[in-house]
Amino acid sequence: MSSDEPYGYLLAHFREDPAGFAERIHFSLSTGDSPLRWTPLWGGRPRLTSNLGTTGVRDPAIVRGRDGRFHILATDLRVFGGDDRGWDEWRRHGSRSMIIWDSKDLVDWTGPRAVEVAPAEAGMAWAPEVIDDPHGDGFVVFWSSTLYEPLDVEHVGESYSRILYSRTRDFETFTPAQVMIDAGRDIIDTAIVSADGLVHRFSKDEDRGDASWGIHHEIGSSLFADDFRVVRRRIAAELHRDVEAPILVRDPVLPRWYLMLDRYGSEHGYFVLQTDDLASSEWAPVAADEVEIPDATKHGTVLRLTRPEWLRLRAAGATEDRGE
């Protein structure tokens, strides 16, 4: 087997702990080459902590850069032990910056640093994700922001969340934000994958009423096409009332996709659905005995590894170094 052949996965995430301080970056490593079973690294302790902005970090996205370096981008928000202003205020007057770390080997990281990506009209910048830029040699970074009229500098009017995007090559400089998704309703937590010549978007509708789209699936011909159509709404609503933070992972062997969804409310943490036909959006639960994800593992993203990277993380994550 070639040393650069794909093997194993890294899940960067935060944890749910209202009584503690778990809104930091945690790492979990796949058990072998399966994206269904995960072991917390560093004994489940946080690997990265922010001393910037709110001092809390949520919803991390991890990406492999063109130069081989790795980057983590995270929401700057501390819900537990923070300023207690509440969700409405955080959506109107939250941080418009992302918190970013960089690494050469996934073990040792530099940072954090704060990069402002959302415009003054935005109320916040939440849940960053990263994909390859189809029109350049860099990346498209996208996130959720409420937007207010330019004259509404205090953000007192009504608004809803759009998905904004920016381009970057080095994760230090970003182009001015533009709107990627405006559904006329409160959309957050978008995840995007390309498969079989189509682009698939999975997002969460924040409306919790009967008319909510919930976790919904759209298909379009390209990343910035205007032909996206909704093919499925309220995914997994029959299983759990409150779900968010979709992660899409392709099985390393089978012609199968997994959809990881994060429960919130009375339950916390990821469960997994599967399909052998992504375009059909027909999802079935993965049997509970096939999935091992520690409770309270919250909103994150998955990075495909090579065998040396997986081995290096497994060895380093077994140490007692707290990394704080």
State both tokens at 72: 């983590």
Distance CA 275, CA 103 (A): 34
* 125 burial level (CB within 10 Å; 0-12, 13-18, 19+): buried
Q: Which pTM does this prediction carry?
A: 0.96
Asked if residue 322 has pLDDT above 80, the reply is no
DSSP label at residue 322: -
The domains of the chain, with CATH numbers, are: 7-316 (2.115.10.20)
Q: 174: closest CA among 216, 238, 234, 128? A: 128
Average pLDDT score over the chain? 96
pLDDT in tens, 104-128: 999 999 999 999 999 999 999 999 9
Asked if residue 324 has pLDDT above 50, the reply is no
- Across residues 179-202, what is the average pLDDT? 98
Confidence (pLDDT) at 321:
52
Q: 147: closest CA among 186, 115, 175? A: 186
Q: How confident is the model at residue 2 (pLDDT cuts 50, 70, 90)?
A: low
pLDDT in tens, 27-53: 999 999 999 999 999 999 999 999 999
- 3-class DSSP state for residue 286? coil
- 3-class DSSP state for residue 24? coil
Distance CA 94, CA 98 (A): 11
Asked if residue 14 has pLDDT above 80, the reply is yes
User: Where are the extended beta strands (E) located within 16-56?
Assistant: 26-30, 38-40
Q: Radius of gyration over alpha carbons of the chain, in Å?
A: 19
- Across residues 132-146, what is the average pLDDT? 95
Asked if residue 194 has pLDDT above 60, the reply is yes
Q: How many CA atoms lie within 13 A of 42 on its CB side?
A: 16
pLDDT in tens, 233-274: 999 999 998 999 999 999 999 999 999 999 998 788 999 999
